[in-house]
Copies of this chain bind each other. A is one copy, B any other.
């Protein structure tokens, strides 16, 4: 699929707005994705005016891509709507637990990816914002999310104002295991990551951050243990507050 194979994340958008019919059409295609037991355990919050966007942007650490995008789509794992329907139907929902949270998260993410593929087919560009889970607590407040919902990811979306080169991937054989997982030898890891480490962009990244290796840029700067642990505690608290750990 040429469309999928040419995907690249867009971080700089034109000011051009997205027609509401186009946006609806994209979200419609999202809802055609697989969903657990046809329960559709997701919602999406469309933030497309300055007031709405400005409340969210700091929660995504003021990243340029969040500021630049005319629309932010926050994807919600949502057992609230379904549970309300159950209660109204004289049925007793039992979805305040981690398995149900994860089931809804799967639904929301599959939905999100179909939205992204369709958006690109319309000539739009997208970028996932992983910061959503970091600041789920504050996003819940801003978007007024009720219990049994949780924001799993955000997609910045708009018409591209840049044409980045395709990003590298490790060789396919590094991803695929036949029949069972065969753990990686030192030699294999070296081979899989050699190309990535050889890239000029990687070397620049290492130099700019005063590190010895590309991996150190990840562990010491971008995805630090102390941050991961801090935001993990926060995430567990939020899952509890949202009623998913009962």
Name A's B-contacting residues (CB within 8 A): 1, 4-7, 9, 24, 27-29, 31-34, 36-40, 42-49, 52, 76, 80-82, 84-86, 88-95, 97-100, 102-103, 105-106, 109-110, 112-114, 116-118, 121, 126-128, 130, 133-134, 142-146, 149, 152-153, 167-170, 172, 174-184, 186, 189-190, 192-193, 212-216, 218-220, 222-226, 228-229, 231-232, 235-236
| Interface pair B177/A45, CB less than 8 Å apart | yes
| Interface pair B109/A235, CB less than 8 Å apart | no
Bound: A29/B2 CA distance, A: 9
Contact check: which of B4, B42, B44, B213 meets A118 at CB < 8 Å? B4
| Interface pair A218/B91, CB less than 8 Å apart | yes
- Some 20 contacts from A to B, beta carbons below 8 A apart, are A1-B118, A6-B32, A27-B175, A27-B176, A34-B128, A37-B218, A39-B223, A45-B179, A46-B179, A81-B184, A84-B184, A88-B189, A89-B213, A93-B219, A94-B223, A99-B133, A99-B235, A102-B105, A103-B133, A144-B182
| Interface pair A100/B33, CB less than 8 Å apart | no
Residues from chain B with Cβ under 8 Å of A85 in the complex: 189, 192-193, 215
Bound: A225/B105 CA distance, A: 18
Please state the number of chain copies in the assembly.
2
| Interface pair A7/B27, CB less than 8 Å apart | no
| Interface pair B90/A212, CB less than 8 Å apart | yes
Contact check: which of B36, B112, B222 meets A37 at CB < 8 Å? B222
| Interface pair B183/A89, CB less than 8 Å apart | no
Bound: A127/B84 CA distance, A: 27
